[in-house]
Amino acid sequence: MDPVTESLNELHRRISALTGGEVASYIPKLAQADPDDFGIAITSMSGHRYQAGKADTAFTIQSVSKPFVYALALTDLGPDEMLRHVGAEPSGEAFNAISLEPGTGRPANPMVNAGAIATTALVKAADPAARSARILGWLSAFAGRPLDHDEDVYASEAASGDRNRALAYLMRSAGSLEDDPYSVTDTYFRQCSVRVTAADLAVMAATLAKGGLNPVTGERVVSQDVAVRTLAVMATCGMYDGAGQWLLNVGLPAKSGVAGGLIAASPGRFGIALYSTPLDTEGNPVRAVAALTEMSERFSLHLMHAPVHLTTTVTDTVHAARSSRARDSAQAAVLDRDPRRIAVVGAQGDLEFTETEQLLNAVVRATPATPGAMVLDLTAVTGISPGPATMIIATLADLQRRGHHVAIALQQPFLDQADGHPGSWTTTRDDAVAWCEDRFLSGEHPVGAQDIAPHSQ
């Protein structure tokens, strides 16, 4: 057995013994669930799936659908329009609280029922049936398999859902809901009755943790921006009136549902889902809260925990590089005699702020004292965020102004975006160094060099 499954089994064994909490009964059908069922599932960023206990037991998604449908409406409307209809402030109230923003009637956030019903109404569709179908297809894309409805739970909630209908009518009278309240609530009940397992929910959470890319199917389900916003709302509002305490103790964006499901996303690491029906007074599954609290501590998952940078960004620094190009004896003599030096700094991995700061510090240290050439070998770099890209380009432009030739080697996809940037852009370190040598051999000064006097560091 692999070590992840082993440690999940161990956690599952211990937490199974925990009692306490009440199985939700206001939707009569939910009260029939087995309070002993307990499942845990994890999906990693590479799409590996781990599970322990009843991770394949089906239950209804309920409020765990809310962040995903929010992501759909956000994709349809864009962030500004979305915010006009549904706020993003934690309400500090119960999931079914009857409270709207004074004046506008806008619900506090999309994770409480009022906000979720308003969000469902914003999903673009020709009619209610098409809207339900679109939501089902959307949740299925997150799960990576076709999901269906639990018709019994749907009927049970529809027969007992007057409080949610009351919320919808209240929003309609306050002007924050345009659609027919009865029909919108019905679509919301169908959304809540989508049948999932903890294993499905773990893939759904992992898709958010991977910036909108489903790690199992490889499909991009939502944009990075929508995934980030969805996780942000989960972090502040996902755990209802227990949201603050949750952020303190566990520190992960999460969402619970009244049928016993709970998801949490550790961005860039994994999605986790737990299933256990007894709920605490805030409506969150008791065993799931205990298991995640322990896991967060054991694996330092808290969002505010400073990340450990395990890989070094700078792979090597060369102070006087030569290419493998065949040079005739006259050229070789020029290059040997030329006091100008070609420095190379190599880097690997994803370049975010911290990595780029390390890289550019290495560039400053390696820059030749007299105008020469600087090669950035970024061929082992797998990602460059927009801010870091601006920092790198500014550094190259500065080196060029100070009289250095600059060349950069990058993987082809990055090169395609290189138009108009300073220096030479190629796909290999050797080509970049050879390009600098060719400049020396032709006696060229870099374009844009204002000052080719020796530069002292």
Under the criterion CB under 6 A, does residue 198 sit at the interface with ligand GLU? no
109 binds ligand GLU (CB under 6 A): no
If one asks whether residue 113 binds ligand GLU (CB under 6 A), the answer comes out as: yes
The dihedral through the CA atoms of 384, 389, 395, 396 has a sign that is positive
Q: Are 282 and 237 in contact (CB under 8 A)?
A: no
62 binds ligand GLU (CB under 6 A): yes
CA dihedral sign of residues 216, 222, 228, 229: negative
Minimum distance from CB of 87 to ligand GLU (Å)?
A: 18
Which residue in 44, 51, 63, 367 binds ligand GLU (CB under 6 A)? 63
> Looking at 41, 82, 192, 213, which residue binds ligand GLU (CB under 6 A)?
192
Long-range contacts, stretch 280-285, CB < 8 angstroms, 24+ apart: 280/20, 280/21, 280/242, 282/94, 282/239, 282/240, 282/241, 282/242, 283/24, 283/94, 283/95, 283/240, 283/256, 283/258, 284/239, 284/240, 284/242, 284/246, 284/256, 285/21, 285/256, 285/260, 285/261
Pair 206, 46: CB distance under 8 Å: no
The number of beta carbons lying within 10 Å of the beta carbon of residue 224 is 12
Which of 215, 242 has the CB closer to ligand GLU? 242
Q: Are 418 and 333 in contact (CB under 8 A)?
A: no
Shortest distance, position 176 Cβ to ligand GLU, whole Å: 17
Cβ-proximal residue to ligand GLU, closest one: 63
State the nearest-atom distance from the C-beta of 258 to ligand GLU, in Å: 3
Radius of gyration of the chain (CA): 28
Question: Cβ 316 to ligand GLU, closest distance in Å?
Answer: 54
How many binding residues for ligand GLU (CB under 6 A)?
11
Contact status: 288 vs ligand GLU (CB under 6 A): no
Q: Does 258 bind ligand GLU (CB under 6 A)?
A: yes
Of the two residues 107 and 372, which places its CB atom closer to ligand GLU in the complex? 107
Residues 354-413 that bind ligand GLU (CB under 6 A): none
Structure tokens at 437: 């040598």
Are 51 and 42 within 8 A, CB to CB? yes
Interacting positions 68-97 with ligand GLU (CB under 6 A): 95-96
Nearest approach, Cβ of 25 to ligand GLU (angstroms)?
Answer: 12
β-pair partners for 279: 22, 285
Residues 123 to 162 in contact with ligand GLU, rule: CB under 6 A: 157
Q: Is residue 38 a contact point for ligand GLU (CB under 6 A)?
A: no
| Interface positions with ligand GLU (CB under 6 A) | 62-63, 95-96, 113, 157, 164, 192, 257-258, 283
